[in-house]
């Protein structure tokens, strides 16, 4: 095996060839491949480990109906459900959240149209430049990962939820701008509920900038000829504060809970919410940021649109750590304070499949 790797197979060369096409994974599918390139094949030990871990399919990630959140009695019930889900699962789905179904459908359709437009138009946006606000690429950690994910990505960085429409790709501009408008309001509501679930004032997380600014990272997973050999997204935890995920009807998302993989079945009109590493820190481990992944499939395209709330830009240079109001002699800080920009630099310079996570550096 070592001989094959060193002599016959130049991984870096193959990665560069794939990157240079600027056509992403969809380009491979459009070319009619029957076998996935070796750069996408997971290490043998990972494939073997999955054989032992089929997961329970009959248990669902919590589903929380957030209608009537203004009613004081119902609100207390919702806060309690959020508290349990955030502490035990790190994941939940919200329904009746106030974003019209038409807005969700049009957002998904806009991402499909972006990925299925003429390649030349997509290639204009293909970039690995971290400073670019809007870019198209495949696999942000392409040169450091053990195996590539079977997906392409349109990345949109939003500062203060006030994007310049002219920067958005024309084919999905209108639908994206409309979705962003609704997302801002939902984010504020979710951070109120999470604040209350921690026993804080409703405005606590919003007041420190948690709901200001986010990145939308829209993924397109084409059908895969050999889904058993690769993944849509490798196992990872999210680096930010909170993730709000919109997905189409083709499932694939799985959450690691009690060392088993659980499917997160798409709900029409539902949104998946998960705790990020930074909220685990802020909550001093009351809330859990958990590993999750997306499996590849013969059917597609699967489309998923996570929005990563990572805080206001002004937080980058300030010390970041557990919320002081949550600490006591009985509940000392579990993390050292750190600078957010250092933490994010660690995350983006590492690979999703690194064993040491950026959060591990700051544990007490």
Task: Give the span between the Cα atoms of 253 and 247, in whole angstroms.
Answer: 9
How many residues in the chain?
364
| Residues contacting 89, CB < 8 A, separation 6+ | 61, 62, 255, 257, 288, 290
Which whole number is the average pLDDT over 9-34? 96
Structure tokens at 282: 């802020």
Comparing 74-78, 91-95, 137-141, 160-164, the range with the smallest average pLDDT is 160-164
Q: Are 288 and 306 in contact (CB under 8 A)?
A: no
56 pLDDT tier (thresholds 50, 70, 90): low
pLDDT top residue among 53 and 175: 175
Chain position carrying tokens 């999210």? 238
202-212 pLDDT, tens digit per residue, is: 999 999 999 98
Which whole number is the average pLDDT over 64-87? 97
pLDDT at 353 (0 to 100): 67
Q: What is the CA 343 to chain-centroid distance, rounded?
A: 17
Task: Give the span between the Cα atoms of 41 and 146, in whole angstroms.
Answer: 9
Comparing 207-216, 238-247, 291-300, the range with the smallest average pLDDT is 207-216
Question: In the predicted model, is pLDDT for residue 144 greater than 60?
Answer: yes
| Topology, domain 10-362 | Jelly Rolls (2.60.120)
Structure tokens at 164: 């310049």
pLDDT at 225 (0 to 100): 98
Task: Give the span between the Cα atoms of 155 and 134, in whole angstroms.
Answer: 6
Distance, first Cα to last Cα, the chain? 41
Residue-wise DSSP of 126-137: B---TT-SEEEE
Question: In the predicted model, is pLDDT for residue 5 greater than 50?
Answer: no
Strand 63-65, strand 91-95: pairing: parallel
pLDDT at 8 (0 to 100): 63
Question: In the predicted model, is pLDDT for residue 103 greater than 60?
Answer: yes
pLDDT at 285 (0 to 100): 97
Cα Rg of the chain (Å, integer) = 20
Which whole number is the average pLDDT over 79-104? 98
pLDDT at 1 (0 to 100): 40
Q: What are phi and psi of 11, to 5 degrees?
A: -60, -45
Q: What percent of the chain stands above pLDDT 90?
A: 79
Q: Are 340 and 311 in contact (CB under 8 A)?
A: yes
Chain position carrying tokens 């489309």? 303
Residue among 310, 306, 298 at smallest CA distance from 348:
310
Half-sphere exposure of 362 (CA within 13 A, CB side): 27
Half-sphere exposure of 80 (CA within 13 A, CB side): 6
């Amino acid at each position: 095996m070592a001989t094959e790797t060193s002599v016959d197979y130049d991984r870096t060369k193959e990665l560069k060839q794939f990157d240079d096409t600027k056509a992403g994974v969809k380009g491979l599918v459009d070319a009619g491949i029957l076998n996935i390139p070796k750069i996408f094949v997971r290490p043998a030990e990972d494939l073997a480990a999955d054989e032992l871990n089929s997961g329970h399919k009959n248990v669902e990630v919590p589903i929380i109906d957030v209608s009537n959140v203004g009613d004081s009695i119902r609100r207390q019930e919702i806060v309690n459900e959020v508290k349990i889900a955030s502490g035990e699962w790190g994941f939940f789905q919200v329904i009746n959240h106030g974003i019209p179904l038409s807005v969700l459908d049009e957002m998904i359709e806009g991402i499909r149209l972006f990925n299925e437009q003429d390649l030349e138009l997509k290639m204009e946006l293909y970039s690995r430049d971290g400073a670019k606000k809007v870019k198209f690429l495949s696999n942000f950690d392409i040169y450091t990962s053990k195996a590539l994910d079977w997906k392409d990505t349109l990345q949109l960085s939003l500062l203060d939820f006030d994007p310049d429409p002219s920067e958005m790709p024309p084919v999905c501009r209108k639908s994206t701008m409309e979705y962003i408008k609704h997302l801002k309001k939902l984010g504020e509501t979710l951070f109120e509920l999470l604040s209350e679930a921690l026993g804080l004032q409703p405005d606590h997380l919003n007041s420190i900038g948690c709901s200001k600014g986010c990145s939308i990272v829209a993924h397109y997973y084409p059908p895969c000829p050999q889904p058993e050999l690769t993944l849509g997204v490798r196992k990872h935890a999210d680096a930010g504060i909170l993730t709000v995920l919109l997905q189409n009807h083709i499932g694939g998302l799985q959450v690691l809970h009690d060392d088993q993989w659980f499917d997160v079945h798409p709900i029409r009109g539902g949104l998946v919410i998960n705790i990020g590493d930074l909220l685990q820190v802020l909550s001093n481990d009351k809330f859990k940021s958990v590993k999750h992944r997306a499996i590849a499939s013969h059917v597609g395209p699967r489309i998923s649109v996570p929005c990563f709330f990572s805080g206001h830009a002004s937080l980058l240079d300030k010390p970041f750590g557990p919320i002081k109001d949550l600490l006591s002699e009985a509940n000392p800080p579990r993390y050292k304070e750190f600078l957010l920009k250092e933490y994010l630099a660690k995350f983006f310079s590492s690979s999703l499949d690194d064993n040491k996570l950026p959060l591990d550096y700051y544990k007490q």
